[in-house]
């Protein structure tokens, strides 16, 4: 919403300056959003860059009839889902988890509210489970890295992740 207001107030600027403002406003946020699904920052960056190229070429970003924020987040969510599906994820539990999280992100709440809700829910997890979830999903550590940090077996990490994800799914009703 803040971008739309700013853009409308800067109608006198050239398209490239307006687009740069759009890019600067949303780029980092969209990478974090995409990375929360993909757990792969370079892939998230590729998706975001592709979306920005496409909206530049289509000119949809100039339309006052389109909420650019909603458009961007829905486009990113859909691209992430396609990326995951195209990877032929063999672990059906991971695919189901991602689909459940996509359903949570699909609600019309703002991204900041959803992130805050997710962080609050993570904070309510038992301490060991919370630490593992934070290391694995917020810091992007692998199962083996998390196991080494906490000096436990990788199977313990997997079990705790499964419990934490089940708890989060229950809290979000997915």
Residue 86 or 129, more confident: 129
What's the angle, vertex CA 25, arms to CA 21 and CA 30, rounded to 5?
135
Q: Going by CATH, does the domain composed of 1-88 fall within 1.10.1740?
A: yes
Residue 12's pLDDT band (cuts 50, 70, 90): very low
Enumerate helices (H) and strands (E) in the chain, giving the number of each: 9, 0
Residue 145 or 88, more confident: 145
Query: What's the pLDDT score for residue 13?
Result: 56
Digit-coded pLDDT (tens) for 65-78: 678 888 899 999 88
Residue 168's nearest CA partner among 142, 146, 136, 143 is: 136
pLDDT > 50? residue 59: yes
Residue 140's nearest CA partner among 46, 40, 30 is: 40
* pLDDT average, residue stretch 114-137: 83
pTM of the entire predicted model = 0.49
* pLDDT average, residue stretch 157-172: 82
What CATH architecture applies to the domain 108-174? Orthogonal Bundle (1.10)
Give me 40's structure tokens: 């792969």
Three-state DSSP class for 139? coil
Residue 112 or 126, more confident: 126
Domain ranges for the chain: 1-88, 108-174
- Is the torsion defined by CA of 108, 111, 117, 121 positive or negative? positive
Tell me the C-alpha distance between 118 and 107, whole Å. 13
């Amino acid at each position: 919403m803040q971008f739309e207001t700013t853009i409308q107030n800067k109608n006198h600027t050239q398209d490239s300056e307006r687009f740069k403002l759009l890019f600067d406003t949303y780029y980092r946020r969209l990478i974090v959003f995409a990375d929360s699904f993909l757990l792969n920052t370079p892939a998230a960056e590729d998706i975001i860059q592709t979306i920005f190229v496409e909206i530049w070429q289509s000119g949809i970003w100039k339309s006052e009839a389109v909420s650019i924020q909603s458009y961007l987040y829905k486009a990113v969510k859909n691209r992430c889902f396609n990326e995951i599906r195209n990877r032929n994820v063999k672990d059906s539990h991971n695919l189901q988890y991602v689909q459940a999280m996509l359903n949570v992100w699909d609600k019309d709440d703002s991204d900041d509210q959803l992130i805050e809700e997710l962080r609050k829910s993570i904070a309510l997890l038992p301490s060991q489970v919370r630490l593992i979830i934070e290391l694995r999903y917020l810091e992007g550590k692998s199962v083996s890295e998390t196991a080494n940090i906490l000096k436990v077996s990788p199977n313990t990490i997997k079990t705790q992740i499964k419990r934490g994800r089940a708890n989060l799914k229950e809290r979000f009703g997915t």
